[in-house]
Amino acid sequence: MIKPIGSDELQPRFVYDVAEHDALSKEAESLPSVVISSQAAGNAVMMGGGYFNPLQGYMNVADAMGAAQNMTLTDGSFFPVPILCLLQNVDAIKDAKRIALRDPNVDGNPVLAVMDVDAIEEVSDEQMKTMTQKVFRTEDMEHPGVAAFNSQGRFAVSGPIQVLNFSYFLDEFPDTFRTAVEIRNEITERGWNKVVAFQTRNPMHLAHEELCHMAMERLGCDGLVIHMLLGKLKPGDIPAPVRDAAIRKMVELYFPPNSAMVTGYGFDMLYAGPREAVLHAYFRQNMGATHFIVGRDHAGVGDYYGAFDAQTIFDEEVPEGALQIEIFKADHTAWSKKLNKVVMMREAPDHTKDDFVLLSGTKVREMLGQGIAPPKEFSRPEVAKILIDYYQSLQK
């Protein structure tokens, strides 16, 4: 199986030993504590599950700047984005060496992790500006990722963490949320050697489904991991439970047995386009995938990124040898009226736009809201029914 990044075995930051977990939970209640941001909580969950291997905790400012500027930390190791715990106020933990980090996303703000504090640093305006520009390629506060990153505060608390739980993800998505450790174990149990991962924050229409089949066939993969984001999205995106139901129905009906796993991870979407594509590849290698599909405008939002920037970054900016996982570069896929099947648009040079079945997201949402299923060339009817029920429930 493909090795994790930076170590021979995954080093998840979750405390699995029952006695140690119990002792740490008791200790945490007496420690100075602070409620962290949703983004920092997602970082803790990802470190807890081994996805961000070999990170032991939150970065200091020097490492965060290195990650932002050239994807390299001060010790020379590779990481594509800053992993920070930014706070607006540090009065409660100012002189503490060991603190409890409380979950902003669960009622009562239970302790999510315990941290050994290495440093508390104030991030300058110039440093925030540089990190924002490098990661998101814009400083526009209309960009949802830029707004979320810059609203957390300016005090960076760094140091190794021990994670006590997986926030709301395990409770709300017990059948779907999986750690990198669990996915690696399941890949081994299924006997898969070549595994391609597919990232999604949306339900999968026919074109996505066919893209996965294409990738598996062309790469000679024996397994597909559909790995959906379960954290916070921007307003208007379809909630995770609805997405989950739609994807499971599609896999059940249209994939052979033991060929696809439906899983999810606990992280808030950054909408950082190219940089987020590299982060996606990073943690897919850690979970055991050998290949990763990067499509048109991967992890993008609005018009902030070029259609294929998330593919070219792997050739132009990722340091040589930083990743072992291979990228399957996909174009937009759509139903060809000429060929009567889904194709990659770049592989049909004799087609015009009118030769494809293309529907905008707005048009699809409008149809679903009116109880009208998109054409079968766009969406499986069983998937469309789940989405129609959701959109119609919004109108009640």
Active site residues per annotation = 201-202
Residue 19: C-alpha distances to residues 23, 26, 47, 174, 223 (Å): 6, 11, 21, 24, 37
- 3-state SS, residue 373: coil
Rounded Cα distance, 21 and 42, in Å: 20
Phi, psi of 208 (to 5 degrees): -65, -45
The torsion defined by the Cα of 88, 69, 45 and 290, in degrees rounded to 10, comes to 170
Task: Convert 137-170 to b/e letters by CB count within 10 Å (16 or more is b).
Answer: bbeeeebbbbebbbebbbbbbbbbbbbbbbbbbe
DSSP string, 294-359: E-TTTT--TTSS-TTHHHHHHHHTSPTTS--SEEEE---EEEETTTTEEEEGGG-TT--GGGEE--
- 3-state SS, residue 160: strand
The structure tokens listed for 371 are 């109880």
- 3-state SS, residue 44: helix
Torsion 179-185-190-192 (CA) sign = positive
Whether 301 contacts 271, CB under 8 Å: yes
Rounded Cα distance, 12 and 16, in Å: 9
Rounded Cα distance, 189 and 212, in Å: 21
Q: How far apart are the first and last CA of the chain?
A: 49
The structure tokens listed for 350 are 């004799």
Query: For residue 127, what are the contacts with CB-CB under 8 A and spacing of at least 6?
Result: 61, 65
